């Protein structure tokens, strides 16, 4: 196990943007940046032993300062769209930035993906990682509460990448964070992901409006393009003649996950043999097929249901001083 820490030579918020490289003894390498807790690269061998990067990335560090595609970044305070860019909590109305039509997308202009986080390396006997920390102040982007945030990435010799999120607040607020990495297991980031095979343990998904915001109810996947209970290729139904597919230009939908100790999401690329098995303690995953990038990647955004603060049909619990925010996702990497 090895950890390398270096400066990129680029500054943000008065401090250098740092790059931390995590290596395990099997050759898996994860490159992360302090700006937005970005997963910049993930080097994984194929079934012939060839190592390739399997996540979409920019050519320069400077591009991550704006990161308009959210490549590899932490998204928060809230992932997804908040309808009408406002919500009520404790009888108070909070108005947020409008950065996507009349909605708040990925927390708006105060999104955590553009912040330079504090870095604390982690070097243990069986794992290496990094703990990122940041304080988000009351009123940023319209959100209530001073919130101390932590995001931890931990890589071990079992080829497991563990993502942990924490948030302590001094008043009730909303937190729903995710990582927005774009995967292409083929290693060819110019190739569409139609041949990737996907399984999602979900009997329900959340339909979206034309603007991408959830309608606010759950629908059964049975008999629809959204039935991934049995493994199938991503391309099989990405062009289905269904309203929900046409609205998103592909998949861009939340799935309500089964609660289980086993991975609820399985992504496999037969030609390379690369496979990701994903487990989370969160309610949902937003599966996004990079529709604005011609379906050349797939995002598996583990989180609670987007806009749950406004949707009575979605499970919601405020983050409070007595009940801090915690979330865990594990990505099991294999190649065969």
String of DSSP letters for 194-257: TT-EEEE--SEE--B-TTS-B-SS-EE-TTSTT--SS-EETTSSTT-S-HHHHHHTS-EEEEE-
- Is residue 278 predicted with pLDDT exceeding 90? yes
**Confidence band (pLDDT; 50, 70, 90) for 49?**
very high
**Confidence band (pLDDT; 50, 70, 90) for 101?**
confident
Selecting among 18, 253, 301, 308, the annotated active-site residue is 301
- Is residue 218 predicted with pLDDT exceeding 90? yes
CA distance to 206, 279, 304, per residue, from 258 (Å) = 14, 10, 13
Share of the chain above pLDDT 90, in %: 97
Query: Cβ(17)–Cβ(38) under 8 Å?
Result: no
Give residue for tokens 């390739």: 52
Looking at residue 146, its pLDDT comes to 98
- Is residue 323 predicted with pLDDT exceeding 90? yes
Structure tokens at 89: 């909590």
Is 210 known to be catalytic?
Answer: no
Helix/strand/coil for 65 = helix
- Find the CATH number of the domain harbouring 162: 2.70.98.10
Share of the chain above pLDDT 70, in %: 100
- Is residue 100 predicted with pLDDT exceeding 90? no
Instruction: Name the residue among 251, 259, 267 with its Cα closest to residue 331.
Output: 267
- Is residue 279 predicted with pLDDT exceeding 90? yes
Selecting among 106, 113, 180, 253, the annotated active-site residue is 180
pLDDT in tens, 177-207: 999 999 999 999 999 999 999 999 999 999 9
DSSP annotation of 63: H
Phi, psi (degrees; rounded to nearest 5) at 110: -100, 25
Beta-bridge partner residues of 275: 268, 334
Q: How many CB atoms lie within 10 A of CB 232?
A: 14
Number of domains in the chain: 1
Query: Cβ(306)–Cβ(291) under 8 Å?
Result: no
Mean pLDDT of the chain: 97
Is 180 known to be catalytic?
Answer: yes
Regarding pTM above 0.95, the answer is yes
Residue 115 structural domain: 2-335
**Confidence band (pLDDT; 50, 70, 90) for 64?**
very high
CA distance to 272, 274, 305, per residue, from 251 (Å) = 23, 22, 15
Mean pLDDT computed over 257-270: 98
CA distance to 3, 86, 209, 254, 306, per residue, from 215 (Å) = 44, 16, 6, 11, 10
The Cα 312–Cα 166 span in angstroms is: 25
Give residue for tokens 């108005």: 95
Looking at residue 109, its pLDDT comes to 86
Give residue for tokens 């305070």: 77
């Amino acid at each position: 196990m090895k950890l390398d820490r270096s400066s990129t030579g680029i500054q943000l918020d008065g401090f250098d943007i740092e790059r931390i490289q995590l290596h395990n003894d099997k050759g898996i390498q994860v490159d992360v940046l302090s700006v937005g807790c970005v997963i910049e690269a993930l080097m994984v061998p194929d079934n012939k032993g060839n190592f390739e990067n399997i996540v979409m990335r920019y050519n320069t560090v400077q591009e991550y300062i704006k990161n308009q595609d959210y490549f590899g970044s932490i998204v928060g305070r809230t992932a997804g769209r908040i309808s009408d860019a406002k919500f009520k909590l404790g009888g108070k109305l909070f108005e947020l930035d409008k950065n996507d039509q009349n909605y708040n997308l990925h927390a708006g202009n105060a999104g955590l993906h553009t912040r330079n986080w504090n870095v604390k390396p982690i070097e243990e006997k069986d794992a290496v990682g990094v703990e990122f920390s940041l304080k988000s102040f009351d009123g940023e982007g319209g959100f209530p509460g001073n919130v101390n945030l932590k995001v931890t990435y931990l890589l071990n010799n079992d080829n497991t990448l563990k993502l942990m999120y924490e948030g302590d607040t001094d008043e009730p607020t909303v937190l729903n964070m995710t990582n927005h990495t774009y995967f292409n297991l083929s290693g060819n980031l110019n190739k569409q992901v139609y041949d990737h095979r996907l399984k999602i343990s979900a009997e329900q998904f959340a339909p979206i409006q034309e603007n991408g915001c959830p309608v606010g109810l759950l629908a059964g996947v049975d008999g629809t393009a959204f039935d991934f209970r049995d493994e199938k290729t991503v391309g099989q139904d990405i062009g289905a003649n269904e309203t929900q597919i046409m609205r998103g230009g592909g998949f861009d939908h939340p799935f309500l996950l089964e609660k289980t100790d086993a991975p609820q999401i399985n992504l496999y690329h037969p030609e390379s043999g690369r496979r990701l098995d994903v487990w989370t303690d969160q309610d949902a995953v937003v599966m996004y097929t990079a529709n604005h990038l011609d379906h050349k990647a797939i995002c598996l955004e583990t989180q609670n249901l987007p806009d749950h603060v406004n949707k009575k049909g979605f499970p919601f619990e405020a983050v409070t001083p007595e009940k801090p925010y915690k979330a865990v996702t594990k990505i099991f990497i294999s190649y065969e």
